[in-house]
Amino acid sequence: MPTLPTMRGHRLIRAALAGAGLVAGLLCCLPVTAGDLVRADVERRFPPPLHVGEKLRDLPAWPLTSELQPDAGPVGYAFESIDLAPIPGFEGTPINLLVAIDAGGKFMDVEVLRQHEPVFLGGLGPLPLQDFVRQYQGKSLKQDITVSSTYGNTRAEGGGNRVVLDGVAKATASVRIVNQSVLAASLAVARARLGFADPGSGAPAAVPKPQPFAAMDLAALIRRGYVQRLSLSNADVEKLFAGSEGAGSDAQALDKPDDLFVEVYVAYLNAPGIGRNLLGDAAWARFRSYLTDERPAFWIATRGRYALVDEAFVPGTPPPRLALLQNELPIELRDANRDYARLPAPGELTSALILTAPAHAGLDPGRPMEFRFSVSRARGMILPVVTQKQITLRYTPPAELFDYPPRPLPEWLQAWQGRLPDLLVIGAALLLLCAALLRPRWIALKPRRLFWFRSGFLAFTLAYIGWYAQGQLSIVQITGAVKSLAAGAGLKSFLYDPVSLLLIAFTLVSLAVWGRGTFCGWLCPFGALQEFVAQLAGALRLPQWHLPPRLARLLARGRYAILALLVGSAALAPAAAERMVEIEPFKTAITVGFQREWPFLLWAGGLLLAGAFVYKFFCRFVCPLGAALTLGGRLRRWNWLPRIEACGQPCQKCRNTCRYDAILPGGAIDYDECFECLDCVGIYHDIRRCGPQRLQAARGRPVEFRRRR
Ligand code: SF4
Ligand code: SF4
């Protein structure tokens, strides 16, 4: 029977401790602050084979890796729009959406987390908005995504790179805000992490440098590269249309091929050395006071026949003939002409505009970008055939105007950096555990001391390692590794979860030194939870059913069958394995803290209840991870738990004490079943509890036992 302290009132202490453990659990299960997701919430939305990594330190996003592509690094990112683009809705507070994009910039999912739009709260209800955001799935950030302005769900056609989402009747403005939030947040993540084509794009955005002002005219600005230009003759444009319906339809171009069609000038206006020179002091001052949110602004002027905007252009809107792209990502430009800019058109320039990009759009003003100008030609009077071509001006901002922050560390290293405090705390705990197992005498000698040490450590394992640091090792890590290896991929994805990796590494070493009991007896959060349930059951005097050891050993073989089934199906039928791993209640009880659907709660609760009557029921008879660790424990090199000749021959004291039936009738330890609770170690070192030693001492003989292995 158990050798926990027998002092009066101790049951009360145990009940208090177990209660404290359970209260800590309940506290961890309280709902998260609305609109502020934690990793577990995201994990619920992106189940295996996807794996949700730690939230990045320099970008509020969770990297998504895939068990099927472990070497690919993140296959996508999930993030809350409110963190990246808090654009106020009509009620004044930002709409919050959970957005996920894949590594190619495609939307994996968009979900409304929080919104206060009156039309969706009191009028239409939330469903139309949910339907609206569903349209993003499969669309790409590389596309020009806009919202239909038609009321009702009339489908508006896109064409080319343009995608038009169905709007929501009576809520067009609200869904436009949603679209802006989704795109701005996604572009920020895409700019920071996806880095299409441009190797430098993985670095943070360049920061404009304060510079002493030097007066320059347009010619000097062009010479310095502050203003960049592109010149096209009529002949150049004719060449653009060659072979298309538009070829030969511009009489003026054919008559005077060498005449200028257009010269386009582009400059990054926020830099004082450019903006103040182009606008003049007074307009520059007004411009600065207008542009308080540091939106990137561009001065774009033209000379020649071509006009940037036609007479139908509405001031304050995006100019339809112009698009801005960076790393192939389109970024909306909007006319920002106000009274500050009665724009001078120096020299022969015929028009000039100031255009701004949204502050949250993720444009890096210090890196190359493309301005695309559309030129169209129409052939025919009735139902004319319109042909459109694009002229591209590649604008490279002058490097001397910017500071370029260094590239961030690789993401896996950032994950490690971000978890450094947790790693240090858990590392210290592991060192303490090593000390206890290497020199167990002092801790194990006094039952009370051992009880408190063990209970304290298990409380740490449950609350800190399990619920807080999410370090519950699981059979999923084994089946995931099997799947990855079966697919011929490596195991790099483990790097993205440093806490688990630390525990895995420690457990592997401990298997060779002490056996499976180091993890199962000390480091498994669900095992710790069962321990507290057992303590509570003891305090409540619930009946304890002690299965006959032979029957227990027979039943224990069931977990190997479960393990074989899971590993086999992981290699042969991954989809089935994903369902079957739910036999482990770890996700329900530890990862998501009991916030799951009722069948999962029922299963986890049932196992804990069984553990209240049969000590460590799940560990001993069901757990496939325990079975795998038992097999791994065969690597153990030493029989480190001390035994003497009298153990089992005839003394059965330790055997009767061991609640895991891990001591054989002959006195030897069955390390496959041992959880390293150290109860028998305490008896071995305590002459008052070890019968043969006490007997020898009573006879006045020196206690000389031959230690056996
Ligand atoms: S047998 Fe399973 S549940 Fe029990 S301690 Fe070991 S790993 Fe955890
Ligand atoms: S054999 Fe293992 S589980 Fe049993 S009492 Fe000894 S240390 Fe504890």
Terminal-residue alpha carbon distance, the chain: 24
By most ligand atoms within 8 Å of CB, the mutation choice from 675, 681, 683 for ligand 2 is 675
Counting ligands in written order, the one closest to the CA of 520 is 1
CA distance 361 to 323: 14
CA distance 634 to 548: 25
- Burial class of residue 210, CB neighbours in 10 A (0-12, 13-18, 19+): exposed
The enclosing H or E element of 443 equals helix 441-445
Percent of the chain scoring above 70 in pLDDT: 81
SS3 251: helix
- Tokens at residue 113, please? 């987390």
CB-ligand 2 contact for 52 (6 Å cutoff): no
The answer, yes or no, to whether residue 1 has pLDDT greater than 50, is no
Counting ligands in written order, the one closest to the CA of 675 is 2
CB-ligand 2 contact for 662 (6 Å cutoff): yes
How far, in whole angstroms, is CA 37 from its chain's centroid?
A: 11
The answer, yes or no, to whether residue 8 has pLDDT greater than 80, is no
Kindly report the three-state secondary structure assignment for every residue of 186-241: HHHHHHHHHCCCCHHHHCCCCEECCCCCCCCCHHHHHHHCCEEEEEEEHHHHHHHH
How far, in whole angstroms, is CA 97 from its chain's centroid?
A: 15
- Tokens at residue 468, please? 């807080």
State the distance from the centre of ligand 1 to the C-alpha of 120, rounded, in angstroms. Answer: 47
Do 377 and 387 contact (CB within 8 A), yes or no? Answer: yes
Please provide the DSSP assignment of 641-707 as one string. S-EETTBTTTB-HHHHH-TT--B-TTS-B-TTT-----HHHHHHH-TTT-HHHHHHHHTT------E
What residues flank ligand 1, with Cβ below 6 Å?
520, 524, 526-527, 618-619, 623, 625-626
What letter would DSSP give residue 50?
E
Amino acid 503: pLDDT: 96
Mean pLDDT of the chain: 81
Q: What is the mean pLDDT of residues 78-85?
A: 89
State the distance from the centre of ligand 1 to the C-alpha of 626, rounded, in angstroms. Answer: 5
**pLDDT band with cut points at 50, 70 and 90 for residue 239:** very high
Domain extent listing, the chain: 10-30+411-635, 39-66+75-194, 208-403, 643-708
Q: Whose Cα sits closest to atom 4 in ligand 1?
A: 619
Amino acid 272: pLDDT: 86
Q: Whose Cα sits closest to atom 2 in ligand 1?
A: 626
The answer, yes or no, to whether residue 310 has pLDDT greater than 70, is yes
Amino acid 478: pLDDT: 82
Q: Whose Cα sits closest to atom 6 in ligand 2?
A: 680
Do 5 and 538 contact (CB within 8 A), yes or no? Answer: no
**pLDDT band with cut points at 50, 70 and 90 for residue 12:** very low
CA distance 612 to 473: 23
Q: What is the mean pLDDT of residues 159-174?
A: 67
The answer, yes or no, to whether residue 702 has pLDDT greater than 70, is no
Atom from ligand 2 closest to the CA of residue 654: 5
- What angle separates helix 10-28 from helix 525-539, to the nearest 10 degrees? 140
SS3 459: helix
What letter would DSSP give residue 122?
I
Query: How far, CA to CA in Å, does 10 sit from each of 17, 451, 536, 635?
Result: 10, 11, 12, 39
The enclosing H or E element of 165 equals strand 162-165
CA distance 515 to 660: 15
Q: What is the mean pLDDT of residues 443-448?
A: 92
Do 440 and 677 contact (CB within 8 A), yes or no? Answer: no
Count of C-beta atoms within a 10 Å radius of residue 609 = 13
The answer, yes or no, to whether residue 281 has pLDDT greater than 80, is yes
**pLDDT band with cut points at 50, 70 and 90 for residue 353:** confident
Counting ligands in written order, the one closest to the CA of 679 is 2
Amino acid 161: pLDDT: 53
Task: Give the range among 228-232, 496-500, 617-621 with minimum mean pLDDT.
Answer: 496-500
CA distance 436 to 267: 68
Cis peptide before 49 (omega within 30 of 0): yes
The answer, yes or no, to whether residue 607 has pLDDT greater than 90, is yes
Q: Whose Cα sits closest to atom 8 in ligand 2?
A: 677
Amino acid 152: pLDDT: 37
CA distance 474 to 585: 10
Task: Give the range among 89-93, 188-192, 631-635, 660-664 with minimum mean pLDDT.
Answer: 89-93
Counting ligands in written order, the one closest to the CA of 524 is 1
Q: What is the mean pLDDT of residues 504-522?
A: 95
Those residues with Cβ within 8 angstroms of residue 252's Cβ, 6 or more apart along the chain or in another chain:
234, 259, 305
667 closest CA partner among 645, 637, 688 = 645
CB-ligand 2 contact for 619 (6 Å cutoff): no
By most ligand atoms within 8 Å of CB, the mutation choice from 619, 675, 677 for ligand 1 is 619
Percent of the chain scoring above 90 in pLDDT: 32
By most ligand atoms within 8 Å of CB, the mutation choice from 663, 671, 672 for ligand 2 is 663
Amino acid 121: pLDDT: 59
The answer, yes or no, to whether residue 302 has pLDDT greater than 50, is yes
Amino acid sitting at position 239: K
Please provide the DSSP assignment of 132-157 as one string. HHHTTTT-BTTSEEEE--SSTTPPPP
Q: Reading across the β-sheet that carries 260-268, which strands appear in turn? A: 227-233, 260-268, 297-304, 351-356, 334-335
The answer, yes or no, to whether residue 30 has pLDDT greater than 90, is no
**pLDDT band with cut points at 50, 70 and 90 for residue 483:** low
Beta strands 351-356 and 334-335, pairing class: antiparallel
CB-ligand 2 contact for 647 (6 Å cutoff): no
By most ligand atoms within 8 Å of CB, the mutation choice from 660, 673, 689, 690 for ligand 2 is 660
**pLDDT band with cut points at 50, 70 and 90 for residue 235:** very high
What value, to the nearest 5°, has the Cα angle with vertex 397 and ends 392 and 401?
A: 170
**pLDDT band with cut points at 50, 70 and 90 for residue 396:** very high
Counting ligands in written order, the one closest to the CA of 661 is 2
Residue bearing the bigger pLDDT, 393 or 363: 393
**pLDDT band with cut points at 50, 70 and 90 for residue 465:** very high
Q: Whose Cα sits closest to atom 2 in ligand 2?
A: 674
Q: Considering Cα of 159, then 165, then 170, then 175, what sign does the dihedral take?
A: negative
CB-ligand 2 contact for 469 (6 Å cutoff): no
The answer, yes or no, to whether residue 429 has pLDDT greater than 60, is yes
The answer, yes or no, to whether residue 615 has pLDDT greater than 90, is yes
CA distance 416 to 400: 34
């389109």: which residue's tokens? Answer: 330
By most ligand atoms within 8 Å of CB, the mutation choice from 476, 588, 625 for ligand 1 is 625
CA distance 1 to 676: 16
Task: Give the range among 15-24, 47-56, 247-256, 498-507 with minimum mean pLDDT.
Answer: 15-24
Amino acid 562: pLDDT: 93
Task: Give the range among 249-253, 358-362, 694-698 with minimum mean pLDDT.
Answer: 358-362
Q: What is the mean pLDDT of residues 493-514?
A: 89
Q: What is the mean pLDDT of residues 539-548?
A: 90
Counting ligands in written order, the one closest to the CA of 473 is 1
Amino acid 488: pLDDT: 59
Those residues with Cβ within 8 angstroms of residue 327's Cβ, 6 or more apart along the chain or in another chain:
190, 191, 194, 195, 196, 197, 198, 201
Count of C-beta atoms within a 10 Å radius of residue 69 = 17
Q: Which range, 294-303, 375-384, 636-645, 674-683, has the best average confidence (pLDDT)?
A: 674-683
Tell me phi and psi for residue 424, to 5 degrees.
Answer: -65, -45
Counting ligands in written order, the one closest to the CA of 622 is 1
State the distance from the centre of ligand 2 to the C-alpha of 654, rounded, in angstroms. Answer: 8
Please provide the DSSP assignment of 51-118 as one string. EE-PPPSSSSEEEEEETT-GGG--SEEEEEHHHH---B-TTSSB-EEEEEEETTSBEEEEEEEE---H
Q: What is the mean pLDDT of residues 379-408?
A: 83
CA distance 685 to 102: 59
CA distance 10 to 4: 9
State the distance from the centre of ligand 1 to the C-alpha of 28, rounded, in angstroms. Answer: 21
Those residues with Cβ within 8 angstroms of residue 651's Cβ, 6 or more apart along the chain or in another chain:
667, 690, 691, 692
pLDDT tens, residue by residue, 92-134: 457 899 999 998 788 999 999 987 666 675 456 688 889 999 9
State the distance from the centre of ligand 2 to the C-alpha of 615, rounded, in angstroms. Answer: 14
Do 61 and 55 contact (CB within 8 A), yes or no? Answer: yes
Amino acid 162: pLDDT: 61
pLDDT tens, residue by residue, 552-584: 888 888 999 999 998 888 777 766 776 788 899
Amino acid 151: pLDDT: 36
Amino acid 190: pLDDT: 84
Atom from ligand 1 closest to the CA of residue 516: 6
Amino acid 427: pLDDT: 97
Those residues with Cβ within 8 angstroms of residue 9's Cβ, 6 or more apart along the chain or in another chain:
none
Residue bearing the bigger pLDDT, 345 or 246: 246
Count of C-beta atoms within a 10 Å radius of residue 491 = 15
Q: What is the mean pLDDT of residues 280-291?
A: 83
Cis peptide before 650 (omega within 30 of 0): yes
